[in-house]
Amino acid sequence: MNSTPQQRPGLFHPTRPLYRFTTLLFIASLSFGSYFAYDIVGAIAPTLVEELGGARGTVGAFYTMYSVAAILSVFVGGLLIDHLGTRKASLLFSTLVFAGSALVWVARSLPVFFVGRFIFGAGSEPLIVAQSAMLARWFRQKELALSFGITLTVSRLGTLFAFNTGELITAQFGSYRYALFAAALLCLISLLGNLCYVVMDKRGEKVLGLRDESAHESIQLRDIRAFPTSYWYVALLCVTFYSAIFPFTALSTDFFVDKWGIPRFAEATGGFLHKVFNNFLHMFGTAGGISSIIIFASMLLAPFAGRLVDRVGRRASLMILGSLLMIPSHLAMGLTHIYPAFPMILLGAAFVLVPAAMWPSVPLIVPEERVGTAFGLMTMIQNIGLALFPALNGLLRDATHTYTASMIMFAGLGVVGLLFALLLKQADARAGGQLERPGVQS
């Protein structure tokens, strides 16, 4: 009896790992431009303070304006993701990111600069929520923490370039506006990556049986009340952890110049690309480079940390360890004259461990159809801290003329974060210990 042999799917079929990881590449690219644009303001903070004639608090206010927009938009963005799907929602957010970064670039006055940062923030944080929902959509049963780690690596590559090229671009071309132009250009490239994701997701949807994004679900706010206690501890840890990281890096370049007299960039002759390479080569000797150590550590090690989480679990335990490492890092920089590169390495370890365990925990503890809402709510809570603490950091610096009070504040946030991490482990143990178990592999 003759039988027709079953045709095997091609190498670039949606069921193949190559297709899945190519999709991951485009998902990861969505936030590369926005991370660069977010941190370019901190990277060129000394020049901005000089050229705009403002106080250090002005730079903090740029970050606060971004976070105010995020607070107002990110929860609604999460609802939109669950209602419209990742494709339509992410394209909307990517467009806002590009428009806001372009407005910051062309701004000729502080009010327009603030408006641009507001529009940018209204798109950037919901876009990161959409990105997280995309990863949960494609990797829930396969390499979930690894996919988050790879995405964090690509995203923070944007931050790494911002801190190590911002002042260099400004010096090379004679104006900080060229650094802001680079940010807008990279946001446009991320928008193009989003379009590629849309094409690949549409193709993969039917083949893989993914949730139909053309079927718009009714979102009930009362569903949030059903989120478990573990979710709320993760959300509270998120706000304290990131409030002790990003508001610090927003003014850390100025901090290192002010307290240690570290140069803004490495002097070199030759062409611009040679100067960029030289700046990276001397990362531990420039203010922007030292600011980027925690980003570099996270970028380099996040995929390995994600793979480790997939294999061994221990998510709550890793969050406890990461929160604990933050406290001596901030105190060493605030209260001693130890060269800041060393405590920044310790802070970088915390910045690897906590996100690698925290973000992949959310799809494990909330229903699949509410992942966008859960990420949106968590990011909104996070941005309350990111709106408050950059402004407090700048105000404390202007009031005391040192960063000592700010560093004590950030260490205090580490203590509070450690408390939430301990409570999370207790709550997870009562619920069966799901966060401590290894991830599902196929």
User: Inter-axis angle of helices 45-52 and 56-84, to 10 degrees?
Assistant: 120
The Cα–Cα gap between 365 and 257 comes to: 44
E strands present in 220-349: none
pTM tops 0.95, yes or no? no
pLDDT attached to residue 221: 63
pLDDT score for 217: 53
- For residue 347, which of 298, 387, 310 has the smallest C-alpha distance? 298
Please list the pLDDT of the chain residue by residue as tens digits (442 residues): 454 455 566 667 777 888 888 999 999 999 999 999 998 887 787 777 677 665 666 777 788 888 888 888 888 888 888 888 888 999 999 999 999 999 989 888 788 888 999 999 999 989 988 998 898 888 876 788 888 888 988 888 888 888 878 888 888 888 888 999 999 999 999 999 999 999 998 888 877 777 666 555 555 566 677 789 999 999 999 999 999 998 888 778 888 988 998 887 777 767 777 777 777 777 788 887 888 888 778 778 888 888 888 888 899 999 999 999 999 999 999 999 999 999 999 999 999 899 889 988 998 888 877 787 888 888 888 888 887 887 788 788 888 888 899 999 999 999 999 999 999 999 999 988 889 988 654 3
For 395, other C-beta atoms within 10 Å of its C-beta total 17
- Which residue bears the tokens 């409030």? 243
Identity at 22, one-letter amino acid code = T
How buried is 224 (Cβ within 10 angstroms: 0-12 exposed, 13-18 middle, 19+ buried)?
A: middle
The domain over range 19-203+226-436 is classified in CATH as 1.20.1250.20: yes
Task: Give the span between the Cα atoms of 97 and 85, in whole angstroms.
Answer: 18
CB atoms within 10 A of CB 214: 10
Q: What's the pLDDT score for residue 398?
A: 82
Nearest CA-CA partner of 298 in 118, 26, 67, 39:
39
Distance CA 370, CA 220 (A): 10
What local confidence, expressed as pLDDT, does residue 155 receive? 87
How deeply is 441 buried, as exposed, middle or buried, from its count of CB atoms within 10 A (0-12, 13-18, 19+)?
Answer: exposed
Question: Residue 13 has what DSSP assignment?
Answer: S
Domain boundaries, the chain: 19-203+226-436
The answer to whether 311 touches 361, Cβ cutoff 8 Å, is no
Per-residue pLDDT, 426: 94
3-state per-residue secondary structure call for 77-132: HHHHHHHHCHHHHHHHHHHHHHHHHHHHHHCCCHHHHHHHHHHHHHHHHHHHHHHH
